[in-house]
Structure 1
């Protein structure tokens, strides 16, 4: 926006929605969860196209230039999921995607040409390279374009953890209501292949915050003990707490192979069974987590989640000003004030 002059809120929202529509569709072409199973970090692989389209719309690029921007973005897509265990780069990879897409749009605006037909090229094209081994589908890029809106189905996370763990966290919170402080002797968690591969390994004490946010054993233990999984559950003292690790040591995670071929609406089904000291088994199943398209977060929950995060890193008046600016984007003549609010320094989220 600073490079193109004043940007109105409606123009900003239009650009954002264009990006929101592109990113998921690129993911569909690669059957996103299958790509994740192979170890690619989906966000920085798909996110370059999201950022390129949003930036390109703000710059006023025409169709040919947008094709160049997408071609330039695609050749910068990358991201290894092994970053989830302890690497600070995990938090950087989405930023890389935003930066690379921004650069791609800027280069296209300046006359740089990108790879034409970048998705369909048989040799060295985006789908042929990233989709190796799981039959990518280029038709998904434009299927029902303008009739089916991906923006309306994007999940907003309720917890400060990897999205695939949210079903387990929801289930653990349901079980927590059943056991009411009783001593836990064993925890069994059953999930499908994507969550199992992405979210389970036997953790070593203490976990780094990034590893804890990705580990289903840690997330369930925190939910059972604390009733929530927010930044407070990832501070140094909580990551090395005896009560957390006592439950992790009592946890088994099981793979439900039958979910591999299930529809996407069923693929993330999660079962949590907690056996208490008296031998009683307490069970909860979550088919899709709260925040999924079938059970979206409410506006009030969205604002509360924002403040649960933002109020930790800045003062309440600034957070409230950001909230007001975002909620009034549709009538804003210039988003410069919002950019200034977001650009100011913050403190550490886990300090």
Structure 2
């Protein structure tokens, strides 16, 4: 069988298979533990939203009940549990930004499959490391030269995470290197294309399926197909009609650049419950509000962001749904101007109440968003605030809280988990779960550990 050893998929698969045992530094392992904990907190919080009832109603009991639905009293079949948990973890837009949104798909896939196989905590952790690292390698191959959403309409999250979830599943299923390669190729073939309109436009309530549920499902299904002998297009990334050419203008994978480099050592985590494209501007405006010592709802605010960011999150209308609110730059900045230090889940869940606040509506009218071609990363922005006297203050944004330049500490990630998980599990059980998550290699069978997430 031709393994296409010169293909990008093969190179990435080879790198992934080396990620085991002592080859994974403790710093990487710790960040992976935190990714698991953070993602589960997001899923638990999502289980208490109205959207949760939609996905639960569409995934009734059927077949073997082998995997836990987090925050619920029951289990579902493997694929149903992955889809439910993947959806719930993305509802509130609090899941991390490593490799796009690598953790939500990879963690949902690995935990459901690991539970059904009764795998060890050590093997589960290695699967998550492999999945997140592979996702990031694919994501970073296209992101620097990503086509504008107005040109391709393709958001680079679901497809990279599908490759990663396939690698995570392949590890848990003990697939050899050739079957791991084909699991990746099949996953990329099955992956959803993440249409930009669903995520940034009038996407309804289906959007959380795209970042977590679909990649998890595609990855595990692909690994099972590969285990049975199915093969896939091993040049799917670098073919002239492949993913790199479709999603970007100059996409390529530099294997040497990843020697001794780990994506997990530069985590991007979320403090704000909104799209990552909004975080830098929200933090920069918050700093200006602190500098002035007063709310800014009566000031004029000019926001400069990268052109591709302005294309999709600058909106000249009110948000029309909780999901739309999480991707609405003017709305989220108006909340900050009116005193919010952090965009909270309640700001979108209770959108109707927020839109009854006259100061929020007034602040939105005074915010102008300008595309700036000189800004190239979504963590870059510039905020200029002009008060009633005509005095202007400027605040650049380069590193929001949670970014690699301004990372959340371990204790802050754990505190975020408790803020999300305690209302669902209760503090004692949440503490026990977190303790075991942070020493995951000591867990002999993840089935017992995951059972703590049932209510």
TM-score tier after normalising by the smaller chain length: 0.7 to 0.9
Q: Is the contact made by 1:36 and 1:42 (CA closer than 8 Å) also made in structure 2?
A: no
Residues 3 and 282 of structure 1: is their aligned pair in 2 closer, same or farther, counting only changes over 3 Å? closer
Deviations 1:138-164 (Å, cap 9, x if unpaired)? x33x33344111121230111111111
Match of 2:129 in 1: 17
1:81 aligns with 2:196: yes
Q: What is aligned with 1:327?
A: 438
Does 1:273 pair with 2:387? no
Quote the Cα distance in structure 2 between the aligned partners of 1:55 and 1:286: 38
Quick one: structure 1 residues 179 and 52, their matched pair in 2 at CA, closer, same or farther if it must change by over 3 Å?
A: same
Moved more, 289-298 or 16-25: 289-298
1:259 offset after TM fit, Å?
A: 2.1
1:285 aligned to 2:401? no
For 1:259, what is the secondary structure of its paired residue?
coil
Q: Which residue of 2 aligns with 1:211?
A: 324
Q: Is the Cα–Cα contact under 8 Å of residues 32 and 42 in structure 1 kept in the other structure?
A: no
Q: Residues 232 and 3 (structure 1 numbering): CA distance in 2 closer, same or farther, change over 3 Å?
A: closer
**1:117-141 Cα shifts (integer Å, max 9, x gaps):** 3223334x3334444xx1221x33x
Residues 1:299 and 2:413 are matched in the alignment: no
Structure 1 residues 36, 231: closer, same or farther in 2, change over 3 A?
A: farther
Task: Tell me the residue number matched to 2:335.
Answer: 222
Higher mean Cα deviation, 50-59 or 85-94? 85-94
Q: For residues 103 and 240 of structure 1, do their structure 2 counterparts lie closer, same or farther at Cα, with a shift above 3 Å needed?
A: farther
Aligned to 2:364: 248
User: Conserved in 2, the CA contact under 8 Å of 1:36 and 1:198?
Assistant: no
- Indicate the RMSD between aligned Cα atoms, in angstroms: 2.2
Instruction: Report the Cα distance in structure 1 between the residues aligned to 2:139 and 2:398, rounded to whole angstroms.
Output: 22
Distance 2:280 2:170 in 1: 36
Counterpart Cα distance in 1 of 2:295 and 2:157: 40
Q: Gaps spanning 5+ residues in structure 1: where?
A: 346-351
Equivalent position to 2:168, from 23, 32, 54: 54
Deviations 1:176-225 (A, max 9, x none): 21233356231111111232123212132x53111111111111111222
Question: 1:105 and 1:55 mapped to 2: Cα distance?
Answer: 6
Give the direction of change, closer, same or farther, for the CA distance of 1:307–1:74 in structure 2 (3 Å limit). Answer: same
Query: Do residues 164 (structure 1) and 277 (structure 2) align?
Result: yes
Instruction: From 189, 196, 210, give the equivalent of 1:93.
Output: 210
In the comparison of the two structures, how many residue pairs are matched? 333
1:211-242 Cα deviation digits (max 9, x unpaired)? 11111111111122222211122223124432
Deviation at 1:334, TM superposition (A): 1.7
With over 3 angstroms needed to count, the CA separation of the structure-2 counterparts of 1:320 and 1:65, relative to structure 1, is same
TM-score (structure 2 length as normaliser)? 0.68
The 3-state SS of whatever aligns with 2:326 is helix
The 3 A distance-change label for structure 1 pair 58 and 146 is farther
Question: Partners in 2 of 1:71 and 1:144 — Cα distance?
Answer: 23
CA, structure 1 residues 3+319, in 2 after alignment: closer, same or farther (shift >3 Å)? closer
CA positional deviation for 1:255: 1.4
- Does structure 2 retain, via aligned residues, the 8 Å contact 1:212–1:239? no
Residue 189 to residue 129, structure 1, CA distance change in 2 (3 Å): closer
Asked if the contact 2:115/2:447 (under 8 Å) is kept, the reply is no
Taking structure 1 as reference, are residues 182 and 21 closer, same or farther at Cα in structure 2, changes over 3 Å only? closer
Which residue in 2 is equivalent to 1:103?
A: 221
Q: Return the alpha-carbon distance in structure 2 between the equivalents of residues 186 and 58 of structure 1.
A: 54
Q: CA deviation at 1:32?
A: 5.6
Gaps of at least 5 residues in structure 2 are: 1-112
Distance 1:315 1:207, change over 3 A: farther
Query: Which residue in 1 is equivalent to 2:346?
Result: 232
CA positional deviation for 1:298: 0.6
Change (3 A) 1:269 1:314: same
1:144-183 alignment runs, 5 A limit:
144-182=257-295
Using the TM superposition, give the Cα deviation of residue 311 of structure 1 relative to its aligned residue in structure 2, in angstroms. 3.6
User: Is the 8 Å Cα contact of residues 190 and 253 (structure 1) preserved in structure 2?
Assistant: yes
Deviation at 1:173, TM superposition (A): 1.4
